[in-house]
Amino acid sequence: MKKKKYLIDTTLRDGEQSPGFAFDCSTKTKIATELDKLGIYQIEAGIPAIGKSEKESILKIMENRKNSRISVWNRMNVSDIKHSMDCMPDIIHISAPVSYVQIYSKLKKNKVWLINTLEQCIDFAQSREYTVSVGLEDASRSDITFVNTIIKMLASYGVELVRYADTVGVLTPSQAECVVKEMLTASNISIEIHAHNDLGMAVANSISAARAGVDYIDCTLFGIGERAGNCNLTHFLSASSQCFDFGFSLSKAKAVEQNLRELIIGGGI
Amino acid sequence: MKIIDRTLTTLDSILPNGKLLINLCEKLAECGVDFIEISVPVLLAIGIDNLPKNVNYILHIHSLDEHYAFPQLTRFSCSCCTEENYNQMITQFQVNDIREIQKLRNFQSKNINARIIGLDDIIMHDYRYYFKILQNIFGNNLDICPQNKYGCATAIAVEWAISGGKSVSASYSGIGGFAPLEEVIVALRIKTRRKPNKNLKTLCEIKDIYTKITHSVIPRNKPVLGEGIFVVEAGIHTDGISKNPLTYEPYDPTIIGENRSIVIGKHSGTKSIQMKLAENNIPTSKKEIPSLLKAVQKEITQLGRSLKDEEFLQLYMEVKAHEKEKISD
């Protein structure tokens, strides 16, 4: 029997973040409706903090969805989370940069600050009865001991799902396997793999992580996303459907991609 | 780790002129390829005396006897030779289902240089176990040429190197369904420090020759080669890169002869606007940014895409003029 796995589609967040893409409300809603009909477990619908039109799109997606859970992306601050609450999503996803280059160079903070701020954000969202998932941004370049410290803290807060993000796409399949096993040893929290394709290994890294015990896999339609893109939904299904059950078939996913081709990539990427 | 480039075995049906092929050989040799494998039609188009001298060649032949016709060359590859002691011959085995690997045990006692083509789905299995079996059968004389049916060929090549493999085959942009050479070279540089001082700028220079030969278009997001891979739009990324490029780049784009650039789009924020203006030598005060950002977002929502540089600058002029009017009112 094939093992059950769950797909999280981030076309409307990380996919749209790719330079050149700017989906309007009607486009976002149509994409989300198709993904919802397909049976995608979770749709990452966007970033409410961008502004009014993004919030309107997400509200419309919430209104139309029938099956999928809708999540929205937030930087690690209460202001972003308040914007998200205006959209009443199913899940508030908070992204926490965890590599040293992100903490010390970008945020210009330290690990203690990061953990305290993340705790405050989780607390704020949970106190308003939202389900929270946390993304460990740039996790593939971070210290695994620090990652494990964070996921233990997240487990203590009752966070059910943590995203391991290979933000700059430098993971290899053997590394993916190794870190997933370490994380699963440290905590029984569910893990989601978020792979980028900078070295052409997003699909292989996602497969390797799934084989090692990850139950949630992030994908985008046509593999669109920052720089060289994310894990391509149909490529991933094509490679892994022989081993995993995603609740829908590759042919159905290809049909959805075909329906949305003109809308998303027009003549090509 | 040896890298064999097989691009010139895939061009028989679109054979370009010899000059372009020579140019391609020269550039491939510069970017860290150890052997260039060519087909007989390509060799004849180039002319054996015109082959650039600074690289080693492997001639891909279809029958064992064919190699006698090319005494100037010393290495060959072929699918039909399983005889022992042909030291200059690479014998190819096509393996598209990992269950077929067990059948190769028949060759364990033979002293042959082998190449395994395929292994498309090996990532779905315990690939290190199968790599070990192959190493036990063929020892160090084994080249892996992963095929890319499932988009995993680069990963297979990299894992083969990490597992102690000594030779891997690839092709430029993955032509012919093999692992994309440029991805393998850059991944091995980052993950195993293979040839860390090699100039990889030629990887992108080859693009022009490749597109002339194949009449194909390289997608904007193609790893290593795509023209959009170092374009930044999102505010959070622009901000990060302005502080330290390492935050959101897997490697320095100048390694492959490229540069990062900023486009203004739906996800751009204050920092992106400031950087774009600075890029155009336009001094700004913090006061101007919010109204410009608002105008930018409005325009992008209407257009449904990012702004071209000239559109952004036009918008800037309009906002500035409007602000001046307000002051004079």
d(CA B269, CA B275): 10
pLDDT at B119: 97
For residue A172, give the chain B residue with the closest CA. Answer: B155
Please state, rounded to an integer, the average pLDDT across all residues of chain A.
97
Q: Which of A8, A49, A66 is nearest to A190 (CA)?
A: A8
Q: Is A57 on the interface with B (CB under 8 A)?
A: no
Helices A233-240 and A250-265, axial angle in degrees (round to 10): 160
- Residues in chain B with CB shorter than 8 Å from the CB of A268 are 217, 219
pLDDT at A135: 98
pLDDT at A54: 95
pLDDT at B83: 66
d(CA A32, CA A44): 9
pLDDT value at A262 more than 80: yes
d(CA A207, CA B154): 14
Q: How far is B99 from chain A (nearest CA, A)?
A: 15
The CATH number linked to A146 is: 3.20.20.70
Percent share of chain B, pLDDT over 70: 97
Name the phi and psi angles at B319, rounded to 5: -65, -40
Q: How far is A239 from chain B (nearest CA, A)?
A: 5
CB contact under 8 A, A203 and B152: yes
CB contact under 8 A, A200 and B306: no
pLDDT value at A220 more than 90: yes
Q: Name the burial class of residue B114, with classes exposed (0-12), middle (13-18) and buried (19+) by CB atoms within 10 angstroms of its CB.
A: buried
Q: Domain tally for chain A?
A: 1
pLDDT value at B43 more than 80: yes
Which residues 6+ apart lie within 8 Å of B165 measured at CB? B1, B131, B135, B142, B144
Which residues 6+ apart lie within 8 Å of B114 measured at CB? B90, B91, B92, B93, B107, B137, B138, B141, B142, B143
End-to-end CA separation in angstroms for chain B: 72
CB A204 within 8 A of CB A173: yes
Q: Which amino acid is at A114?
A: L
- Mean pLDDT in residue range B180-206: 95
pLDDT value at A43 more than 80: yes
CB contact under 8 A, B187 and A199: yes
pLDDT value at B325 more than 80: no
Q: What is the ipTM of this complex?
A: 0.96
CB contact under 8 A, B219 and A200: no
- Residues in chain B with CB shorter than 8 Å from the CB of A223 are 221
- Mean pLDDT in residue range B158-175: 97
Task: State the pLDDT confidence band at B251, using cuts at 50, 70 and 90.
Answer: very high
Q: How far is B294 from chain A (nearest CA, A)?
A: 10
CB contact under 8 A, A173 and B155: yes
- Mean pLDDT in residue range A217-225: 97
The DSSP letter of residue B307 is: B
Task: Classify the C-alpha dihedral B170-B171-B177-B183 as positive or negative.
Answer: positive
* Number of helices (H), then strands (E), in chain B: 10, 10
Domain that holds residue A54: 3-265
Q: Which amino acid is at A35?
A: L
Compute the CA torsion angle A163, A167, A172, A178 (nearest 10 deg).
-30
The DSSP letter of residue A41 is: S
- Residues in chain B with CB shorter than 8 Å from the CB of A108 are 243
Q: Give the model confidence (pLDDT) of A16-32 as tens digits.
A: 999 889 999 999 999 99
CB B27 within 8 A of CB B206: yes
- Please tell me chain B's helix, strand, coil percentages from 3-state DSSP, rounded to the nearest 5: 50, 15, 35
CB A217 within 8 A of CB A10: no
CB contact under 8 A, A22 and B266: yes
Q: Is B2 on the interface with A (CB under 8 A)?
A: no
Beta carbon pairs, A and B, within 8 Å: 168
d(CA B242, CA B229): 17
**Size (chain B), residues:** 329
pLDDT at B37: 98
For residue B162, give the chain A residue with the closest CA. Answer: A174
pLDDT value at B212 more than 80: yes
d(CA B200, CA B32): 8
Q: For an interface test with B, which of A106, A177, A238 has the most B Cβ atoms less than 10 Å from its Cβ?
A: A106
pLDDT at B84: 62
Q: Give the model confidence (pLDDT) of B194-204 as tens digits.
A: 999 898 999 99
Token digits of residue B56: 């080693």
Q: How far is B51 from chain A (nearest CA, A)?
A: 31
Count of CB atoms situated within 10 Å of the CB of B260: 16
- Please tell me chain A's helix, strand, coil percentages from 3-state DSSP, rounded to the nearest 5: 50, 20, 30
Q: Is A229 on the interface with B (CB under 8 A)?
A: yes
For domain B2-214, which CATH number applies: 3.40.50.300, 3.40.1410.10, 3.20.20.105, 3.20.20.70? 3.20.20.70
The domain spans of chain B are 2-214, 231-328
pLDDT at A69: 98
pLDDT value at A269 more than 80: no
Q: Which of B40, B34, B48, B30 is nearest to B9 (CA)?
A: B40
pLDDT value at A224 more than 70: yes
CB B115 within 8 A of CB B170: no
pLDDT at B236: 85
Q: Is A126 on the interface with B (CB under 8 A)?
A: no
d(CA A202, CA B54): 35
CB contact under 8 A, B162 and A174: yes
- Mean pLDDT in residue range B180-186: 98
pLDDT at A126: 98
pLDDT at A184: 97
Q: Give the model confidence (pLDDT) of B262-318 as tens digits.
A: 999 988 988 889 889 988 999 877 778 889 999 998 898 888 888 999 999 999 999
d(CA A45, CA B120): 33
Q: Is B250 on the interface with A (CB under 8 A)?
A: yes
| Nearest CB neighbour to B221, from listed A167, A229, A242 | A229
Task: State the pLDDT confidence band at B131, using cuts at 50, 70 and 90.
Answer: very high
- Mean pLDDT in residue range B16-28: 94
Count of CB atoms situated within 10 Å of the CB of A148: 16
The answer to which of A91-105, A246-260, B115-129, B291-305 has the lowest mean pLDDT is B291-305
Q: Is B152 on the interface with A (CB under 8 A)?
A: yes
CB A6 within 8 A of CB A42: yes
